Amino acid sequence: MVEKFIKFTVLGKETVIEALKKIDSNKQGFVIVVDQEDHVIGVLTDGDIRRAYIRGINIDESVEAVYTRNAKTVLVSDGFETVTELFKNQSIKFLPVIDETGKLINIITKEQMHALLLQDIHADLTYDFLSLDTSIVDHEIFQRPWGYYKTTVLNDYFQGKIICIKPGGQLSLQSHEHREEYWIVVHGTGTVQLDDSVSTVTCGSTVYIPKGCKHRLKNTDETENLIITEVQIGDYFGEDDIKRYEDIYGRI
């Protein structure tokens, strides 16, 4: 077995406690059950073990007594179209990637696929998915005094966000050196300040913010959130590329 998959695979003859130790070590909640030639014969999750324990299975029994047979797999030649379709099933959190003989080639989790999409990483099913930083998926929603934003895409050349501003909330008056922004209002009513110009925006309004332009967005509705989609284009997208001039939340 490839060394990097040691924590993710067990033989059918290994014990439940040995499998559980590997699940605890890999932090993913599952292992792939393989034979001596690394052919996939099933999967075992922490949920499988919990249900088996409730039924009275002893943790020193072999994995063969508890693992799930006929588990979903993908061929390495199938591509991401097949992976995407399978991951639409909420019960599928991971997929063994196999060759035509059934031998384990790779493993991909739903979280890893989301990380690929967010960062626009070009890959096939031989990609080293274990090298991905999946924290980008866990932390893509950020709270702010005015509401929150959710990152939808982030890579080297653009970033996409959904921005939700609560009633009465407003962004700081700010500018960016390294990026320009494009906004589309998808819900609510507000005002946009671009340098010294202020205008009203409603659902369907579009706003272009060039680099260096002072800008601010305010929700003028008393009950409804103001929601926009934002696309940033530039060479750097860090939050430290925000120069604030005025802020009602004292963040200057």
Residue 111: band (very low, low, confident or very high) from pLDDT cuts 50, 70, 90: very high
- Is residue 34 situated within a structural domain? yes
- Is residue 84 situated within a structural domain? yes
193 and 115 within one domain = no
**What is the model's pLDDT at position 124?**
93
Structural domain count, the chain:
2
- Is residue 110 situated within a structural domain? yes
165 and 234 within one domain = yes
**Amino acid identity at 47:** G
- What's the rounded mean pLDDT across residues 229-235? 96
CB 179 within 8 A of CB 234: yes
Contacts of 220 (CB under 8 A, 6+ apart): 189, 190, 191, 200, 226
120 and 147 within one domain = no
Look-up of token digits 């626009």? 120
Q: Which of 93, 108, 136 is the last residue of a domain?
A: 136
Residue 1: band (very low, low, confident or very high) from pLDDT cuts 50, 70, 90: low
* Calpha distance 232→227 (Å, rounded): 16
- Is residue 189 situated within a structural domain? yes
Domain that holds residue 50: 3-136
- Is residue 104 situated within a structural domain? yes
CA distances from 149 to 2, 81, 94, 223, 229 (A): 40, 29, 28, 19, 10
Convert the pLDDT of each residue in 28-63 to its tens digit: 999 999 999 999 999 999 999 999 999 999 889 999
178 and 128 within one domain = no
CATH number at residue 191: 2.60.120.10
- Is residue 120 situated within a structural domain? yes
**What is the model's pLDDT at position 234?**
95
